[in-house]
Copies of this chain bind each other. A is one copy, B any other.
Amino acid sequence: MKLPLGYRFAATYAGLRKVNTEDLGLIISDTPASAAAVTTKNLVQAAPVKIARQHLRASRGRVSAVLVNAGNANCATRTGDQVALACCKAVANKLKVPVAQVIPASTGVIGVEMDEKLVVEAIPRLFEDLLDSRFPDVVHAMMTTDTVPKMAFAEVPLKGGEVQIAGMTKGSGMIHPNMATTLGFVMTDAAISPIHLREMLVRAVNRSYNRLSVDGDTSTNDIVLLLANGASEIKPSERERRTFEESLSLVMEDLAEQIARDGEGANKLITIRVVGAQDEESAVRIARSIANSPLVKTAIAGSDPNWGRILSAAGNSGVDFDLNKVDISLQGVPVCIGGFAADFSEMELKTKLDDKECLIRFELRGDGKGETRFWTCDFTEGYIKINASYRT
């Protein structure tokens, strides 16, 4: 991994988690970076999300630091705004930048007041140990039910030289489009304006995080933040921005795929391809309906080629399609042709479905150009174990 220039990282244990493992991370950019963010659409929004949006507005998209914690979502808390602000101020004072250049992010339990003192007292420790190589430590500091740290990198060759993209993310409860907190921080040393960053981020999120079974229905704390500090001194031309965006999108797709793969208790990554729909929106609706079906997800967990559940889930998507034009394949094996059972060896397919990766392909015959790719995971007993005892 090659990191973008001009960023430094640190993490420490502030005492927000019950167990003594890093729960507070800091990302700083040596010069204020251009920034763009996408945040949760949930009506219930955690204090850090609200403050993050306010700060991005106030600073006109300039960010010098990101302070992220696990162990407490700082959501539905009486002191939420005040605590989030105080933490940002402590960082801003150290950096001697306006408080609006500090972005807070939190993940953890909802409805428990967050102890401001724990965080504020830990902040000086973060500054003692800032290193560009401590990138992975921040990833660890924001993990909750994640079983693996999630990072992705890209090198983008441009006329003026190479720029780097580095992304980190957390998120795991991707079983349902509900309340699985996703945090994502993507950094580059390219020089790009906040306006262009925003356009790129929206499109890249649409091809990555919004193609997980998360999307519009989001957690109280979700935020994906993109920073470009220009430390490479390379400013992509208009045409080069497309190359850059392509790499950005790949990094974010990689991160999203890692989240799906690490779904709570998940054994298998499920990739759903829908092709031939009337338009992209219809394709996404069909894919999401399949991805959200617990009956499909449990069938895949059991390596059961029960394609009727896939067809029925698509039928519940609200998209109108001709049943007799539906072809479904699993692991490349046709199981449904023209809406009816294909002739396949159940035993052989069962073995193929034991694989760690499962591909569901749903095709509508005809000339529809709408297609999408969507990720989810299988649904195992582990999910229940994790979520029945999250707070205990």
Residues of A within 8 A of B (CB): 42-45, 73, 75-78, 109-113, 173, 175-176, 178-179, 217-220, 292-295, 298-299, 301-302, 304, 306-309, 311-317, 319-321, 323, 336, 339-341, 379-381, 383-385, 387-392
Q: Which residue in B77, B111, B323 is a CB contact (below 8 Å) of A307? A: B111
What B residues does A77 contact at CB under 8 A?
Answer: 340-341
The reply to whether B43 and A178 form a contact with Cβ atoms under 8 Å apart is no
What B residues does A220 contact at CB under 8 A?
Answer: 308, 312, 315
The reply to whether A294 and B341 form a contact with Cβ atoms under 8 Å apart is no
The reply to whether A388 and B179 form a contact with Cβ atoms under 8 Å apart is no
Q: Which residue in B179, B292, B304, B311 is a CB contact (below 8 Å) of A316? A: B179
The reply to whether A306 and B391 form a contact with Cβ atoms under 8 Å apart is yes
The reply to whether A110 and B179 form a contact with Cβ atoms under 8 Å apart is no
- Contacts A76-B339, A293-B178, A304-B389 given; indicate if A111 touches B380 (C-beta within 8 A): no
The reply to whether B109 and A44 form a contact with Cβ atoms under 8 Å apart is no
The reply to whether B306 and A43 form a contact with Cβ atoms under 8 Å apart is no
The reply to whether A323 and B293 form a contact with Cβ atoms under 8 Å apart is no
The reply to whether B336 and A76 form a contact with Cβ atoms under 8 Å apart is yes
Q: Which residue in B175, B295, B302, B320 is a CB contact (below 8 Å) of A178? A: B295
21 interchain pairs (CB within 8 A)? A43-B316, A43-B317, A43-B319, A43-B321, A43-B323, A44-B314, A77-B340, A111-B340, A112-B341, A176-B293, A178-B312, A178-B313, A179-B293, A179-B295, A220-B315, A299-B388, A304-B390, A304-B392, A379-B384, A381-B384, A383-B384
